[in-house]
């Protein structure tokens, strides 16, 4: 009998297939004592396992490239954390086996993360995955992970670790469904990059029996269990219709009445560029530069290394616009040479621009590298600072850009509610705004983007978030400057129309979403988008806002 479940759709498309469950987690190793003379050998085993897992994560990152590489390299750093390794050594010295020492040391660190505020608590799933991989290697059992199958399937998991998501084979994994996660979690972002339909935050997903046929609609978040032939045909027809619309939509982004909407790509490095170019991106709206810095948590990359990487991206978009975000470190992206190790709540501490202003040499080197990378190129370079709170932050960043001799537009990211509320003040110092809706939602609603239990508050359709977007866009319009969106909200084809109606001037997203957004914008006039925006802001919940906008655009 067909039943319908609803989670949060995070990656467009329809997948129909049999359920396969993620490999089970490693069992807890037995707590047994070892003789003192075996301690050194066990410590060696532990270190070998840690190094092997870190090497595997880095290798997976190199294969995946781009944003996935940055996430996986961060996990590798987590595996080799000196404090964790020292704790493992201590536990072995008093009689634990290598596997039990790893298990207990990670459990202790896990408890610290879980109690360190919502933002760091979201890293617990990544930590568990690292622990499971190390313990599995020590026990000599198969790694937990994606199941082996010769036939395509729909993957079900409690959550997907980045190491698994990054290397999913789209020819076998038709789509995936998770119990945890949110619309801006690592899994969701990587799913969009892969172009795999995905639904997250679905309670009870793990109870779906192995082999059950389900249909996953990554746009609506609906899961149809044992769908009827009629339902399958309906979903496949809708998918075919969307695909046909995509095929007929090419060229620059614009509404049906010709209002131009530049559609840009979010990239993590040179590896993401080919997909962006293929999707018809008109430039880069968010170049995340963290990938370079995650290679070595103890030392910043040299100026020469930065110049080389930046130039590869800039050269890919001649005459195009490339917006670079300077290093956004801290919180879930700690770097030993930059971020404090003892902050009680790093998400609300010294992160982003605050870290860079505390380490002006790191900022100066990056800005100088960007200036040199752009020399002789016709590209329109723009550079923006993350986590800008007020006009003083914006001025400090603009002054640093000028001091470095950077010939580019300087901008500020709006990720903190104060920046949206005082956007016009900030625009006295910088030339553009870019809305990072992922963090803006997180800070507006005190809702961690990695925690599925608060996913309704991470929904970019929340009217309060739309109000902050409108405030920022209105301020930019009043100052004659631009205001783009580079958060994942821009990847929702319907919401993209609303954002334009709110006054946003450009949209940046994962490359896979660009064709969907281009096709959606081409169906409506600017006036329709503006009416949809008014209707969405008048609603009292995200669902009501979405329905109200849809009703306006469909002429109901």
| Pair 272, 65: CB distance under 8 Å | yes
Q: Which residues on adjacent β-strands are paired with residue 324? A: 287, 383
405-to-289, 321, 380, 383, 394 alpha-carbon distances in Å: 19, 19, 16, 13, 17
Q: How confident is the model at residue 341 (pLDDT cuts 50, 70, 90)?
A: low
Mind giving me the DSSP string for 385-448?
ESS--SHHHHHHHHHHHHHTT--SEEEEEE-SHHHHHTHHHHTTT-SEEEE-HHHHHHHHHT--
Claim: this prediction has a pTM higher than 0.75: no
> Does the annotation count 12 as an active-site position?
no
* pLDDT recorded at residue 24: 64
Tell me which of 3.30.1050.10, 3.90.190.20, 3.20.20.60, 3.40.50.720 is the CATH number of domain 252-554. Answer: 3.20.20.60
Q: Is 547 assigned a ligand-binding role in the annotation?
A: no
* Tens digits of residue pLDDT in 260-303: 999 999 998 888 899 899 889 999 999 999 878 866 667 788 99
Give the whole-angstrom CA distance, residue 195 versus residue 198.
Answer: 9
When the candidates are 2.40.50.140, 3.50.30.10, 3.90.1150.10, 3.40.50.720, the CATH number that belongs to 3-23+149-242 is 3.50.30.10
Q: How confident is the model at residue 30 (pLDDT cuts 50, 70, 90)?
A: confident
Catalytic residue among 401, 483, 486, 529: 486
- The sign one gets for the Cα dihedral 398, 402, 403, 407 is positive
Q: What's residue 13's pLDDT?
A: 85
Q: Over the range 21-46, which residues count as b (16 or more CB within 10 Å of their CB) and which as e? A: bbbeebeebeeeebeeeebeebbebb
Higher pLDDT, 84 or 23: 84
Reference 518, options 281, 173, 266, 203; nearest CA is 281
137 is in an annotated binding site: no
Shared fold status for 3-23+149-242 and 252-554: no
Strands (E), 44-141: none
Active-site option among 186, 359, 401, 529: 186
Q: Which backbone phi and psi does 223 adopt, to 5 degrees? A: -120, 125
Tokens standing for residue 123: 């890293």
- Give the other-Cβ count within 10 Å of 372's Cβ: 17
pLDDT tens sequence across 158-209: 887 766 766 678 788 999 899 887 776 667 777 777 778 999 889 889 889 8
**Range with the poorest average pLDDT among 39-43, 105-109, 138-142, 267-271:** 138-142
At residue 219, the pLDDT reads: 82
- Give exposure, 56-89, as e/b (b: 16+ Cβ within 10 Å): bbbebbeebbbbbbbbbbbbbbbbbbeebbebbb
Residue 116: pLDDT over 50: no
- In this structure, the number of other CB atoms found within 10 A of the CB of residue 303 comes to 15
Residue 216 has pLDDT above 60, yes or no: yes
Q: 292, 284, 305, 303: which is closest to 379 by C-alpha? A: 284
Per-domain residue ranges of the chain: 3-23+149-242, 36-139, 252-554
Residue 543 annotated as binding site: no
Q: Is 486 designated active site? A: yes
In tens, the pLDDT along 237-250 reads 887 877 776 666 77
Measured distance CA(411)–CA(433) in Å, rounded: 6
Residue 192 tokens, joined: 């969009």
Closest C-alpha among 546, 438, 539 to residue 219: 546
Backbone angles phi, psi at 495, to 5 degrees: -65, -30
pLDDT tens track for 417-436: 999 999 999 999 999 999 99
| Secondary structure (3-state) at 381 | strand
Class of domain 36-139: mainly alpha
Give the separation between CA 456 and CA 451, rounded to whole angstroms.
10
- For the chain, what's the residue count? 556
Query: What are the residues whose beta carbons fall under 8 Å from the beta carbon of 320, sequence distance 6 or more?
Result: 282, 283, 284, 379, 380
Is 179 annotated as belonging to a binding site? Answer: no
The residue with greater pLDDT, 143 or 275, is 275
283: β partners: 321
CA–CA separation, 301 and 304 (whole Å): 8
Orientation angle between helical segments 39-64 and 124-139, nearest 10 degrees: 120
Give residue 360's pLDDT: 95
Region of 24 on the Ramachandran plot (φ > 0 left; ψ -120 to 50 alpha; else beta): beta
User: What is the average pLDDT value for the chain, to the nearest integer?
Assistant: 87
Interatomic CA distance for residues 370 and 441, integer angstroms? 30
Residues whose CB is less than 8 angstroms from the CB of residue 325 and which lie 6 or more positions away in sequence, other chains included:
286, 287, 288, 289, 383, 384, 385, 386, 413, 434
Q: What pLDDT is recorded for position 286? A: 96
Mean pLDDT on 85-114 = 87
pLDDT at 297: 61
Q: Which helix (H) or strand (E) holds 372?
A: helix 360-374
Structure-token pair, residue 138: 């020590």
Residue given tokens 């009629």 in the structure block: 230
> Which tens digit of pLDDT belongs to each residue from 352-375?
999 999 999 999 999 999 999 999
CA neighbor of 525 nearest in space, from 490, 553, 504: 553
According to DSSP, the β-strands at 263-267 and 283-288 are parallel
Q: Does 288 count as an annotated binding residue?
A: yes
For the record, the structure tokens of 472 come out as 């920022």
Q: Would you say 415 is a known binding-site residue?
A: yes
Q: Is residue 100 scored above 90 in pLDDT?
A: yes
Give the 3-state secondary structure of residue 333. strand
Binned at pLDDT 50, 70 and 90, residue 308 comes out as: very high
């Amino acid at each position: 009998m067909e039943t319908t479940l609803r989670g949060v759709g995070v990656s467009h498309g329809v997948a129909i297939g049999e359920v396969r469950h993620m490999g089970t987690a490693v069992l807890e190793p037995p707590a047994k004592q070892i003789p003192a003379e075996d301690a050194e050998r066990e410590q060696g085993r532990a270190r070998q396992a840690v190094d092997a897992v870190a090497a595997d994560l880095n290798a997976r990152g190199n294969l995946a490239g781009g944003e996935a590489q940055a996430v996986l390299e961060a996990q590798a750093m987590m595996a080799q954390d000196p404090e964790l390794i020292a704790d493992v050594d201590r536990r072995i010295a008093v009689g634990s086996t290598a596997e039990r020492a790893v298990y207990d040391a990670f459990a202790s660190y896990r408890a610290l993360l879980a109690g360190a505020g919502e933002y760091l608590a979201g890293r617990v799933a990544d930590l568990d995955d690292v622990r499971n991989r190390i313990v599995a290697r020590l026990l000599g059992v198969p790694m937990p992970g994606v199941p082996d199958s010769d036939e395509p399937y729909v993957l079900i998991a409690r959550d997907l670790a980045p190491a698994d998501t990054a290397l999913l084979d789209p020819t076998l994994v038709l789509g995936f469904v998770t119990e945890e996660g949110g619309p801006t979690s690592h899994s969701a972002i990587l799913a969009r990059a892969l172009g795999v339909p995905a639904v997250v935050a679905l309670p009870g997903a793990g109870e779906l029996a192995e082999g059950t046929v389900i249909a996953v609609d990554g746009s609506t978040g609906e899961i149809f269990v044992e769908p009827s032939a009629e339902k399958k045909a309906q979903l496949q027809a809708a998918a075919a219709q969307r695909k046909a619309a995509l095929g007929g939509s090419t060229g620059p982004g614009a509404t049906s009445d010709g209002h131009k909407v530049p559609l840009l790509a979010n990239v993590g490095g040179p590896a993401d560029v080919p997909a962006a170019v293929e999707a018809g991106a008109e430039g880069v709206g968010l170049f995340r530069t963290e990938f370079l810095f995650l290679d070595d948590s103890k030392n910043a990359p040299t100026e020469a290394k930065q110049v080389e990487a930046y130039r590869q991206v800039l050269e890919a978009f001649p005459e195009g616009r490339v917006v670079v975000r300077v290093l956004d470190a801290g919180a879930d992206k700690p770097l030993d040479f930059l971020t404090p190790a003892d902050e009680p709540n790093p998400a609300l501490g010294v992160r982003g621009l605050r870290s860079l202003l505390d380490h002006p040499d790191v900022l100066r080197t990056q800005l100088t590298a960007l200036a040199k990378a752009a020399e002789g190129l016709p590209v329109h370079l723009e550079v923006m600072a993350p986590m800008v709170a007020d006009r003083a932050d914006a001025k400090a960043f603009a002054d640093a850009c000028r001091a470095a001799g950077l010939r580019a537009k300087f901008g500020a990211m709006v990720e903190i509610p104060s920046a949206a509320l005082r956007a016009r003040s900030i625009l006295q110092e910088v030339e553009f705004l870019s809305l990072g809706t992922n963090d803006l939602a997180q800070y507006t609603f005190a809702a961690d983007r990695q925690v599925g239990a608060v996913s309704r508050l991470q929904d970019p359709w929340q009217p309060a978030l739309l109000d902050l977007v409108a405030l920022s866009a209105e301020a930019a319009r009043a100052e004659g400057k631009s205001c783009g969106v580079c958060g994942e909200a821009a990847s929702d084809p319907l919401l993209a129309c609303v954002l334009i109606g709110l006054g946003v001037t450009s949209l940046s997203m994962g490359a896979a979403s660009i064709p969907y957004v281009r096709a959606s914008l081409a169906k409506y006039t600017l006036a329709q988008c503006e009416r949809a925006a008014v209707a969405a802001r008048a609603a009292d919940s995200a669902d009501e806002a979405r329905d109200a906008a849809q009703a306006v655009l469909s002429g109901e």
